[in-house]
Structure 1
Amino acid sequence: MKVSHLLRSIQYAVLTVVGWVLTPIIRLIFSLVYRSSSKCVTPIEDPLCLLPATELARKIRTREVTSEAVVRAYIERARLVNRDCNFIVADRFQEALQEARNVDTILDGHVIAEKFSEQNAPFLGVPTSIKEAFALKGMPQTSGLVMMRDYRASEDAPVVGRLRQAGLIPTMVTNVSELCMWYESANQLNGRSCNPYNTSRIVGGSSGGEGCAIASGAAVVGVGSDIGGSIRMPSFFNGIFGHKPSNGLVPSGGQFPLPTGRDMELLTTGPMCRYATDLLPLLKVMSGPEAKLAKLDQKVDVMKIRFFTKFDDGGSLLVSHVEPEIQESQRKVVQYLRDTVGVHVEELKLTKFQYAFEMWAAKMALSGGTDFATYMSNYNGRVNCYLELLKWLVGRSNHTLPAIGLGMGQGLADLTPGTNKKNVQILNKLDQELREVLGEDGVLLYPTHPKVAPYHNEPIFYPFNFAYTGLFNALAYPVTQCPLGLSSEGLPVGFQIVTTPNNDRLPIAVAVFLERVFGGWVPPGTRP
Structure 2
Amino acid sequence: MTQRWRDLVTDKRRRQQESIPKEWFISVPPDTVLDVTAIPEQCGLFTAKELEITNTVDVGVLLNKLATAEWSAVEVTTAFYKRAIVAHQLVNCLTEIFVERALARAKELDEHLKATGKVVGPLHGLPISLKDQLCIKGLETTMGYASWIGKYADKNATLVDILYDCGAVPFVRTNIPQTLMWGETYNLVFGRTVNPANRSLSCGGSSGGEGALIHLKGSPLGVGSDIGGSIRIPALFNGLYSLRPSYGRVPYEGAVNSMVGQDSIPSVLGPLSNSLSGVKAFMQAVISQSPWTKDPLCVRKKWDDEAYALSEHGGGSTLCFAIMWNDGIVVPHPPIIRALEMTREALRAAGHKVIDWQPIKYLELGNAISAIWKAGAGEDFHVTTTETGEPVISTMNIVEGVEPDSSIRPAPTGISAYALWQVQKARAELRKEYLDHWQKTVEVTGTGRPVDAIISPGTPFVAPPHGRNNYTNYTKVLNALDYPAATFPVTRVDVSLDAKKPAHQFLSETDEAMYSWYEPTLVQNAPVALQLIGRTLEEEAVIAMTEVVDAALKAKAKVAL
Q: TM-score range by the shorter chain?
A: 0.7 to 0.9
Contact 1:195 1:203 in 2 (8 A): yes
Corresponding residue SS for 2:199: coil
Q: Counterpart of 1:193?
A: 193
Structure with the higher fraction of residues in helix conformation: 1
Contact 1:179 1:376 in 2 (8 A): no
1:469 aligns with 2:471: no
Instruction: Give the whole-Å Cα distance in 2 for the aligned partners of 1:199 and 1:78.
Output: 17
Q: Counterpart of 1:71?
A: 77
1:480 aligns with 2:486: yes
Contact 1:129 1:170 in 2 (8 A): yes
Per-residue deviation at 1:256? 1.9
1:165 aligns with 2:165: yes
Write the letter of the residue equivalent to 2:360: T
Q: Counterpart of 1:27?
A: none
Q: Counterpart of 2:545?
A: 510
Per-residue deviation at 1:427? 4.8
Per-residue deviation at 1:373? 3.0
TM-score computed with the length of structure 2 as normaliser: 0.75
Write the letter of the residue equivalent to 2:281: P
Residues 282 and 148 (structure 1), Cα distance of their counterparts in 2 relative to 1, 3 Å cut: same
Q: Counterpart of 1:19?
A: none
1:293 aligns with 2:307: no
- Say which is worse superposed, 127-136 or 349-358, in terms of deviation: 349-358
1:497 aligns with 2:532: yes
Residues 258 and 415 (structure 1), Cα distance of their counterparts in 2 relative to 1, 3 Å cut: same
Q: Deviations over 1:448-494 (max 9, x none)?
A: 001111112233xxx3x111100000011111111112112211111
Contact 1:484 1:519 in 2 (8 A): no
Instruction: Give the whole-Å Cα distance in 1 for the aligned partners of 2:196 and 2:223.
Output: 19
Instruction: Give the whole-Å Cα distance in 2 for the aligned partners of 1:410 and 1:233.
Output: 28
Q: Deviations over 1:178-227 (max 9, x none)?
A: 12110111100111101111111111111110111111111000111100
Residues 385 and 70 (structure 1), Cα distance of their counterparts in 2 relative to 1, 3 Å cut: closer
Per-residue deviation at 1:353? 2.6
1:351 aligns with 2:360: yes
1:141 aligns with 2:137: no
Q: Counterpart of 2:54?
A: 49
1:38 aligns with 2:42: no
Equivalent residue runs for 1:36-435 within 5 Å: 36=32, 38-43=34-39, 45=41, 46-51=51-56, 52-110=58-116, 112=118, 116-117=119-120, 121-263=121-263, 265-287=265-287, 288-289=289-290, 293=301, 295-298=303-306, 299-300=309-310, 301-314=315-328, 316=329, 320-338=330-348, 340-364=349-373, 370-378=376-384, 397=404, 404=409, 407=410, 411=414, 420=423, 424=427, 425-435=429-439
Instruction: Give the whole-Å Cα distance in 1 for the aligned partners of 2:406 and 2:439.
Output: 41
Contact 2:146 2:390 in 1 (8 A): no
Per-residue deviation at 1:437? 3.9
Instruction: Give the whole-Å Cα distance in 2 for the aligned partners of 1:350 and 1:59.
Output: 45
Contact 1:179 1:375 in 2 (8 A): yes
Corresponding residue SS for 1:458: coil
Contact 1:211 1:272 in 2 (8 A): yes
Q: Deviations over 1:242-278 (max 9, x none)?
A: 1011112111122222544443533111111110112
Write the letter of the residue equivalent to 2:371: A
Q: Counterpart of 1:444?
A: 454
Residues 501 and 167 (structure 1), Cα distance of their counterparts in 2 relative to 1, 3 Å cut: same
Per-residue deviation at 1:374? 2.1
Write the letter of the residue equivalent to 1:364: W
Instruction: Give the whole-Å Cα distance in 2 for the aligned partners of 1:455 and 1:408.
Output: 29
Contact 1:178 1:400 in 2 (8 A): no
TM-score computed with the length of structure 1 as normaliser: 0.79
Corresponding residue SS for 1:94: helix
Instruction: Give the whole-Å Cα distance in 2 for the aligned partners of 1:137 and 1:348.
Output: 46
Write the letter of the residue equivalent to 1:133: Q
Residues 446 and 138 (structure 1), Cα distance of their counterparts in 2 relative to 1, 3 Å cut: same
Instruction: Give the whole-Å Cα distance in 2 for the aligned partners of 1:149 and 1:510.
Output: 42
Instruction: Give the whole-Å Cα distance in 1 for the aligned partners of 2:407 and 2:75.
Output: 40
Contact 1:356 1:468 in 2 (8 A): no
Contact 2:158 2:251 in 1 (8 A): yes
Residues 415 and 216 (structure 1), Cα distance of their counterparts in 2 relative to 1, 3 Å cut: farther
Write the letter of the residue equivalent to 2:52: P
Gaps of 5+ in 1: 1-33, 523-528
Per-residue deviation at 1:419? 8.7
Aligned positions, number: 464
Contact 2:259 2:380 in 1 (8 A): no
Instruction: Give the whole-Å Cα distance in 1 for the aligned partners of 2:73 and 2:354.
Output: 44
Instruction: Give the whole-Å Cα distance in 2 for the aligned partners of 1:61 and 1:195.
Output: 33
Instruction: Give the whole-Å Cα distance in 2 for the aligned partners of 1:223 and 1:479.
Output: 15
Residues 514 and 88 (structure 1), Cα distance of their counterparts in 2 relative to 1, 3 Å cut: same
Instruction: Give the whole-Å Cα distance in 2 for the aligned partners of 1:423 and 1:181.
Output: 23
Contact 1:358 1:423 in 2 (8 A): no
Contact 2:137 2:153 in 1 (8 A): yes
Instruction: Give the whole-Å Cα distance in 2 for the aligned partners of 1:487 and 1:346.
Output: 25
Q: Deviations over 1:292-339 (max 9, x none)?
A: 72753222343243311111102x2xxx4311111111111112212x
Per-residue deviation at 1:36? 3.3
Residues 107 and 395 (structure 1), Cα distance of their counterparts in 2 relative to 1, 3 Å cut: same
Instruction: Give the whole-Å Cα distance in 2 for the aligned partners of 1:48 and 1:443.
Output: 35
Per-residue deviation at 1:104? 1.4
Write the letter of the residue equivalent to 1:98: A
Residues 400 and 169 (structure 1), Cα distance of their counterparts in 2 relative to 1, 3 Å cut: farther
Contact 1:39 1:199 in 2 (8 A): yes
Per-residue deviation at 1:284? 2.0
Residues 326 and 151 (structure 1), Cα distance of their counterparts in 2 relative to 1, 3 Å cut: same
Per-residue deviation at 1:395? 5.9
Instruction: Give the whole-Å Cα distance in 2 for the aligned partners of 1:387 and 1:200.
Output: 20
Contact 1:185 1:204 in 2 (8 A): yes
Contact 1:203 1:212 in 2 (8 A): yes
Residues 399 and 341 (structure 1), Cα distance of their counterparts in 2 relative to 1, 3 Å cut: farther
Q: Counterpart of 1:8?
A: none
Corresponding residue SS for 1:457: coil
Per-residue deviation at 1:428? 4.1
Per-residue deviation at 1:159? 1.1
% identical equivalent positions: 23
Corresponding residue SS for 2:164: helix
Corresponding residue SS for 2:201: coil
Contact 1:144 1:179 in 2 (8 A): yes
